[in-house]
Amino acid sequence: MADKPAAERTEQPTPRKLGKAREKGQVPQSQDLGSAVTLLVLFLSVALLGPGLLGWAKGQVEASVSGQIGPMADADTFAAYLNANIVDAVVVMLPILAAISVAGIAASIAIGGVTFSAEAVGFKWDAINPVSVIQRLGNVRSLVRLISSIAKLLIVGLIVWLYLRDKLETMAALRWAWSSQLIGAIASMTFGLGIRVGIAIIILGLADALYQKWQYIQELKMTRQEVKQERKDSEGSPEIKGRIRRIQIQMSMKRLIREVPKASVILVNPTHVAVALRYEAKTMDAPVLLAKGADHVAQKIIAIGRSYGIPIVRRPEVARAIYASVQPGQRIPESLYMAVAEVLAMIYRLRQSRKAKARR
Instruction: Give me the residue spans of the domains in the chain.
Output: 15-232, 242-359
Cβ count within 10 A of residue 84? 10
Instruction: Please give the pLDDT value at position 59.
Output: 64
CATH number, domain 242-359: 3.40.1690.10
Residues of the chain with pLDDT under 70: 1-7, 25, 46, 49-93, 96, 104, 107-142, 174-181, 183, 234-238, 353-360
Q: List CB contacts of 167: < 8 A, sequence separation 6 or more.
A: 189
Q: What is the pLDDT of residue 236?
A: 62
CA 338 centroid distance within chain: 53
pLDDT, position 287: 87
Q: Per-residue DSSP letters for 280-303?
A: -TTT-SS-EEEEEEETHHHHHHHH
Pairing of strands 273-278, 265-268: antiparallel
Short-list 52, 39, 56, CA closest to 95:
52
Strand-pair partners of 312: 266
Structure confidence at residue 72 (pLDDT): 46
How far apart CA 104 and CA 208 sit, in angstroms, is 16
Rounded Cα gap, residues 104 and 101, in angstroms: 5
What is residue 118's predicted lDDT score, i.e. its pLDDT?
46
- List, in sequence order, the alpha helices (H) in the chain: 15-23, 31-66, 75-112, 118-121, 130-137, 140-166, 168-173, 179-220, 224-235, 238-259, 296-307, 316-325, 337-359
**Amino acid, res. 164:** L
CA atoms of 225 and 47, how far apart (whole Å): 56
d(CA 244, CA 236): 11
